[in-house]
Amino acid sequence: FKPEPIFRAVESIEQEAGGAAFPVILLSPQGRLLRQAVVEEMANLEPPAAGGSARIALICGRYEGVDNRVQEALATDELSIGDYVLSGGELAAAVVLESCTRLLPGVMGNQASGEQESFAPVAAVEARAARDRQSSLAGGALSGRHGLLDFPQYTRPAEFRGLRVPEVLLSGNHEQIRRWRRRQALEKTWRKRPDLLENCVLSDEDRRLLEEVKRAALEPVTQ
């Protein structure tokens, strides 16, 4: 893309914003990788009432991208959604929009849901834990995953074509269910994305559960 139409488009948005500064993000394979922490950063931009702009401009290149002067003099940041090639940045922009808007207040029915999913940042998880302690609803148990992959999800019926929901989830014992979910999240992360464990904040219980998982993996399978 030539620089002129992109500069004019962004400058038009600046006029609408009354001159308030806002991020101008170029979707590019050269950008920093989009991670949940980056999503949180964008979703938490201050609204206009608090002195912010709450605006983000996403620039989508096509084929060879955009004139380099856009990167040099207009974009304030560059983001990549992964190490692969697309024909344009439109799908990448849709990913950014989806990941950010679902964290805005009122978008999801239960705002805490976004704090308990795979890759949820530690800060979000700890914030939820603090709210849980204040309301005394969680009994002091930390229910978030601290950046781990999510635990397995099940729905009804309890049995489908011979495949049963784990009995612990049907037991009604909330402490056992919490512990099972935590262990499953740790095991899934260890097996599929062990790199995530390097940056996770693990409690003493987490470390014990992870050791159980590793020992179980070494045990011979009985027929």
Judged against a pLDDT cut of 50, whether residue 144 lies above it is answered with no
Q: What letter does residue 156 receive in the DSSP assignment?
A: S
pLDDT digit string, tens, across residues 151-208: 999 989 999 999 899 999 999 999 999 999 999 999 999 999 899 899 888 999 999 9
Q: What are the residues whose beta carbons fall under 8 Å from the beta carbon of 49, sequence distance 6 or more? A: none
Show the domains of the chain with their CATH numbers: 3-101 (3.40.1280.10), 111-218 (1.10.1270.20)
Judged against a pLDDT cut of 60, whether residue 33 lies above it is answered with yes
Judged against a pLDDT cut of 90, whether residue 60 lies above it is answered with yes
Q: What are the residues whose beta carbons fall under 8 Å from the beta carbon of 18, sequence distance 6 or more? A: none
Judged against a pLDDT cut of 90, whether residue 112 lies above it is answered with no
Biggest alpha carbon distance in the chain? 71
Query: What distance in Å separates the CA atoms of residue 84 and residue 81, rounded to the nearest whole number?
Result: 8
